[in-house]
């Protein structure tokens, strides 16, 4: 009987590891997310977040974000500013309807995690690092962005803010 203990334990381990592999790391984005930008004037938020969120804190190497937001959903709280923001002078929502972020690597940091990847906005692709945390199935992050780096209204660098703080809060479920 004792001889069977180790083979049995091995079988249990193999079966358990199979379930570990089955466990999904794909997260579904919940509706109550928020993507807020703050440049003093203007400030606001975006909606229309969609894409793939594949994140496993224990397997960062295979974790990946491939998400986009709909530029036309910009809301500054003022109708006139919204129309202005979507126009060719600023985001040019007709020509560049989405803002995309695709991660290349996700690493652990002191405060949480860091996602390095390409932010594709207004036809310009630039590498950025987004620091974030993941607690209670909510991704929370904050980073700075300069609109001039993405050729957004470069003709008027002093019209409104150039530097924006972006705050993300994305609850997810499996």
Partner 1 sequence: MFKKIFFHGLVASVLASIAAIIYNHIYFFATEADFSKVLNPASIIALNVIICLLAVFIYWPLLTWLKRKGEIVFNFMFSIISFACVIIPISITLPLDIQFPELFPGLAVPMVFFPAIAWYTIKPLFTLTQQVT
When asked if residue 80 is in the footprint of partner 1 (CB under 8 A), the reply is: yes
When asked if residue 103 is in the footprint of partner 1 (CB under 8 A), the reply is: no
When asked if residue 31 is in the footprint of partner 1 (CB under 8 A), the reply is: no
Minimum CB distance to partner 1, residue 125 (Å): 28
When asked if residue 40 is in the footprint of partner 1 (CB under 8 A), the reply is: no
Distance between CA atoms of 7 and 174, rounded to whole angstroms? Answer: 34
Residue 122: closest CA among 69, 82, 168? 69
Q: Kindly state the tokens that stand for 54.
A: 């594949």
When asked if residue 169 is in the footprint of partner 1 (CB under 8 A), the reply is: no
Q: SS3 sequence, 75-136?
A: ECCCHHHHHHHHCCCCCCCCCCCEEEEEEEEEEECCCCEEEEEEEEECCEEEEEEEEEEEEC
When asked if residue 78 is in the footprint of partner 1 (CB under 8 A), the reply is: yes
Among 40, 77, 123, 157, interactor with partner 1 by CB under 8 A? 77
When asked if residue 82 is in the footprint of partner 1 (CB under 8 A), the reply is: yes
Minimum CB distance to partner 1, residue 112 (Å): 26
Minimum CB distance to partner 1, residue 35 (Å): 11
Query: Binding-site residue total for partner 1 (CB under 8 A)?
Result: 12
Q: Summarize the chain as % helix, strand, coil (round to 5).
A: 20, 45, 35
Question: Within 10 A of 32 (CB to CB), how many other CB atoms are there?
Answer: 9
Q: State the residues that interact with partner 1 by CB under 8 A.
A: 36, 44-45, 75-83
């Amino acid at each position: 009987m004792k001889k069977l203990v180790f083979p049995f334990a091995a079988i249990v381990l193999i079966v358990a590891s199979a379930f570990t592999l089955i466990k999904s790391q794909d997260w579904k984005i919940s509706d109550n997310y928020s993507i807020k930008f703050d440049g003093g004037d203007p400030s606001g938020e975006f909606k229309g977040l969609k894409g793939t969120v594949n994140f496993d804190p224990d397997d960062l190497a295979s974790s990946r974000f491939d998400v986009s937001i709909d530029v036309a959903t910009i809301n500054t709280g003022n109708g006139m500013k919204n129309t202005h923001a979507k126009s060719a002078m600023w985001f040019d929502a007709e020509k560049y309807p989405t803002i995309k972020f695709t991660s290349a690597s996700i690493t652990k940091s002191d405060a949480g995690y860091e996602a390095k990847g390409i932010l594709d906005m207004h036809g310009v692709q630039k590498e950025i690092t987004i620091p974030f945390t993941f607690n209670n199935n909510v991704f929370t992050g904050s980073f700075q962005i300069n609109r001039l780096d993405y050729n957004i209204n470069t003709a008027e660098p002093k019209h409104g803010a150039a530097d924006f703080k972006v705050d993300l809060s994305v609850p997810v479920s499996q």
